[in-house]
Amino acid sequence: MISQRRHRAVVLGIDALLVVMGVLGAYRVAVRAGVPAYLSVDRGRVYVRDLEAGIPYTPLLQGDTIRAINGQEVSSLQGMEFLTDHFQIGDTVALDVERAGQAMTLSVTLGRYYGLRYLLIQCLVGGLYFFLGVLAFVKRPGDKAALVFHWLSVAVGVMIMSTWASYAILPRGLGSASQVLDLLANAAIPVLLVHFSCVFPREKPRGERFIPALYLIAGGFFLWMTIAFLRALAPPSSADFQRFLQAFNTFRWFFSLSILVGVVNLLHSFFTSREGEERRKLRWVILGMGVGPLCFVVLWVIPYIVLARSLVDPDIIVLISAIAPATFAISIIRYHIMDIDLIFNRGTVYTVLLGVLLTIYALVVGTAAILAGTLTVRASLIASGVAATVVALLFEPTRRFVQNVVDRTFFRVRYDYRIVQRRITDDIMQCADVQQLADLIVRRTDEILQLERIGFFRIEEPGGRIILLAHRNGGLFGAPGVSESVTRLHPGARLPLALEYKVEAGAVFEAADPELFRELGLALVLALCSEGMQTLGLLVLGLKRSGTRFSIEDLDLLNSVATQAGLAMDRITLQEKLVMERAETQRLEELNRLKSYFVSSVSHELKTPLTSIKMFAELLRSKKKPGARQSQEYLEIIEGESERLSMLIENVLDFAQVERGVKEYHLTDVSLKELVEKVLRSMRYQFRMQGFRVEMEISPEDHLIHADPAAVIEALTNLLSNAMKYSRDKKAVRIATFDRDGFAAVAVEDKGIGISEKELSHIFDAFYRTQEGGAQRSAGAGLGLALVRHVMDAHGGKVEVRSEPGRGSTFTLLFPMEGG
Ligand code: ADP
**How confident is the model over 68-126, as pLDDT tens digits?**
998 888 888 888 888 888 888 888 999 999 998 899 999 998 888 887 778 888 888 88
pLDDT digits (tens, 9 = 90+) for 49-66: 888 666 657 788 888 999
**Smallest Cα–Cα separation from 765: which of 784, 779, 740?**
784
State in Å: Cα 307 to ligand 1 middle. Answer: 108
Q: How confident is the model at residue 344 (pLDDT cuts 50, 70, 90)?
A: very low
**Ligand 1 center from residue 376 Cα (angstroms):** 107
Give me the pLDDT at residue 724, please.
92
- pLDDT at position 783: 84
Q: Which atom of ligand 1 is nearest to the CA of 768?
A: 10
Distances (CA, A) of 645 to 100, 619, 716, 791: 142, 20, 17, 21
Sign of CA dihedral 482, 487, 492, 493: positive
Q: How far is CA 148 from CA 32, 133, 547, 796, in A?
A: 33, 9, 19, 72
Asked if 73 and 67 count as a contact pair (C-beta separation under 8 A), the reply is yes
Q: Which atom of ligand 1 is nearest to the CA of 780?
A: 3
Supply angle C-alpha 60, 65, 67, rounded to 5. Answer: 105
CA of 718, closest atom in ligand 1:
7
pLDDT reading at 341 higher than 50? no
What's the 440 CA to ligand 1 centre distance in angstroms?
A: 48
Task: Tell me, in angstroms, the distance from the centre of ligand 1 to residue 718's CA.
Answer: 9
Instruction: Find the 782 Cα to ligand 1 centroid distance in Å.
Output: 7
Residue type, 370: I
Q: Which residues line ligand 1 (CB under 6 A)?
A: 718, 722-723, 726, 750, 752-755, 763, 768-770, 775, 780-786, 809
Ligand 1: which atom is nearest the Cα of residue 766? 6
Predicted pLDDT of residue 348: 54
Among 655, 722, 787, residue to substitute to test ligand 1 (most atoms within 8 Å of Cβ): 722
Q: Which atom of ligand 1 is nearest to the CA of 787?
A: 6
* Radius of gyration of the CA atoms of the chain, in A: 49
> Which atom of ligand 1 sits closest to the CA of residue 764?
6
Give backbone dihedrals phi and psi of 690, rounded to 5 degrees, phi first.
-90, 5
Q: Percent of the chain beyond pLDDT 70?
A: 85
Nearest by Cα to 301 from 288, 290, 317? 317
In 3D space, the residue among 93, 248, 108, 75 whose CA is nearest the CA of residue 164 turns out to be 248
Confidence bin at 451 (pLDDT 50/70/90): confident
Residue 407 CB partners (closer than 8 Å, separation 6+): 414, 415, 418
**pLDDT band of 766, cuts 50, 70, 90:** confident
From residue 310, give the alpha-carbon distance in Å to each of 78, 111, 313, 318: 11, 22, 7, 12
Phi-psi category of residue 145: left, alpha or beta, with phi > 0 → left and psi -120 to 50 → alpha: alpha
pLDDT at 19: 92
The count of residues in the chain is 820
Q: If you take atom 19 of ligand 1, which residue's CA is the nearest one?
A: 722
Across residues 599-619, what is the average pLDDT? 80
Helix (H) or strand (E) holding 583: helix 552-621
CA of residue 137 to ligand 1 center, whole Å: 88
pLDDT of the residue at 547: 67
Q: Cα–Cα distance between 106 and 125 in angstroms, integer? A: 38
- Ligand 1 atom with the shortest distance to the CA of 808: 24
CA-nearest residue for atom 13, ligand 1, is 769
CA–centroid distance, 756 to ligand 1, in Å, is 12
Residue 624 CA to ligand 1 centre (angstroms): 40
Residue-level pLDDT at 38 = 83
- What single-letter amino acid sits at 654? D
Of all protein residues, the one whose alpha carbon is nearest to atom 8 of ligand 1 is 782
Residue 546 has a pLDDT of: 66
Contact 296, 322 (CB under 8 A): no
637 against 286, higher pLDDT: 637
Task: In whole angstroms, give the CA distance from residue 360 to residue 371.
Answer: 16
Q: Which atom of ligand 1 is nearest to the CA of 752?
A: 24
Give the Cα separation of 335 and 651 in Å (integer): 75
| For ligand 1, atom 3: residue with the closest CA | 780
- How many angstroms separate the Cα of 521 from the Cα of each of 330, 446, 485, 525, 540? 34, 15, 12, 11, 10
CB atoms within 10 A of CB 123: 19
Q: Whose alpha carbon is nearest atom 21 of ligand 1?
A: 722
Residue-wise pLDDT for 634-680, tens only, equals: 888 888 788 878 888 888 888 888 877 788 888 999 999 999 999 99
Task: Work out which ligand 1 atom sits closest to the CA atom of 769.
Answer: 14
Task: Please identify, by atom number, the ligand 1 atom nearest to the C-alpha of residue 781.
Answer: 3
Mean of pLDDT values over 421-450: 90
> Is residue 709 reached through a cis peptide bond, with omega within 30 degrees of 0 on the bond before it?
no
Q: Using an 8 Å Cβ cutoff, are 218 and 251 in contact?
A: no
Atom of ligand 1 nearest to the CA of 770: 16
Ligand 1 atom having least distance to the Cα of 753: 25
> What is the separation of C-alpha 162 from the centre of its chain, rounded to a whole number of angstroms?
46
- Tell me, in angstroms, the distance from the centre of ligand 1 to residue 260's CA: 89
Per-residue buried b or exposed e for 622-638, using 16+ beta carbons within 10 Å of the residue's own CB: eeeeeeeeeeeebeebb
Q: What is the phi/psi pair of residue 536, to 5°?
A: -100, -20
Q: In the predicted model, what is the mean pLDDT of residues 589-618?
A: 79
Least confident window among 265-269, 598-602, 802-806: 598-602
Neighbours of 88 (CB within 10 A): 14
Rounded Cα distance between 694 and 721, Å, is 12
Measure the CA–CA gap between 411 and 344, rounded to whole angstroms.
9
The alpha carbon of 615 and the centre of ligand 1 are apart by a number of angstroms equal to 27
List, in order, residues 6 or more apart from 697 with CB less than 8 Å away. 734, 735, 736, 737, 738
Q: Is pLDDT above 70 for 337?
A: no
3-state secondary structure of 67: strand
| Residue 665, φ and ψ in degrees, nearest 5 | -120, 140
- What band does 797 get if pLDDT is binned at 50, 70 and 90? very high
Cα(534)–Cα(573) distance, integer angstroms: 13
User: How much distance in Å is there from the Cα of 382 to the middle of ligand 1?
Assistant: 98
Instruction: State which of 719, 727, 785, 813 you would mutate to test the pocket of ligand 1, scoring each by most atoms of that ligand within 8 A of its C-beta.
Output: 785
Q: Is the alpha carbon torsion for 272, 276, 277, 280 positive or negative? A: positive
**Is the separation of the CB atoms in 707 and 795 below 8 Å?**
yes
Other C-beta atoms lying within 10 Å of the C-beta of residue 732 = 15
Distance 673 CA to ligand 1 centre (A): 24
Test site for ligand 1: of 647, 692, 725, most ligand atoms within 8 A of the Cβ:
725
Statement: residue 342 has pLDDT above 50: no
pLDDT value, residue 271: 77
Expressed in angstroms and rounded, the spacing between residue 680 Cα and the centre of ligand 1 is 19
Pocket test for ligand 1, best of 650, 716, 755 (most atoms within 8 A of CB): 755
What spacing in Å lies between the alpha carbon of 762 and ligand 1's midpoint?
10
What integer pLDDT is reported at residue 313 of this predicted model? Answer: 72
User: How far apart are the CA of 763 and the centre of ligand 1, in A?
Assistant: 7
pLDDT digits (tens, 9 = 90+) for 28-53: 888 888 888 888 888 888 888 888 66
Q: What is the DSSP string of 462-522?
A: TT--EEEEEEES-HHHHSTTHHHHHHT----SSSPEE-GGGB-TT---EEP-HHHHHHHT-
Measured in angstroms, how far is the CA atom of residue 366 from the centroid of ligand 1?
Answer: 99
Measured in angstroms, how far is the CA atom of residue 802 from the centroid of ligand 1? Answer: 13
DSSP 8-state assignment for residue 450 = -
Lowest mean pLDDT among 49-58, 255-264, 321-330, 430-439: 321-330
- % of the chain residues with pLDDT over 90: 24
Most informative mutation of 647, 726, 750, 789 for ligand 1 (most atoms within 8 A of CB):
726
Going by alpha carbons, the residue nearest to atom 23 of ligand 1 is 723
The model carries a pTM of 0.47
pLDDT at position 352 is 66
- Give the confidence band of 792 by pLDDT, cuts at 50, 70, 90: very high
pLDDT digits (tens, 9 = 90+) for 369-424: 666 655 566 666 677 777 777 877 887 787 777 766 766 565 545 557 778 888 89
What's the 771 CA to ligand 1 centre distance in angstroms?
Answer: 10
CA count, 13 A, side-chain hemisphere, 412: 11
**Least trusted range by pLDDT, from 382-386, 453-457, 643-647, 710-714:** 382-386
Candidate from 769, 790, 791, 812 with most ligand 1 atoms within 8 A of CB, to mutate = 769
For ligand 1, mutation pick of 753, 763, 783 (most atoms within 8 Å of CB): 763
The answer to which of 327-336, 554-563, 691-700 has the lowest mean pLDDT is 327-336
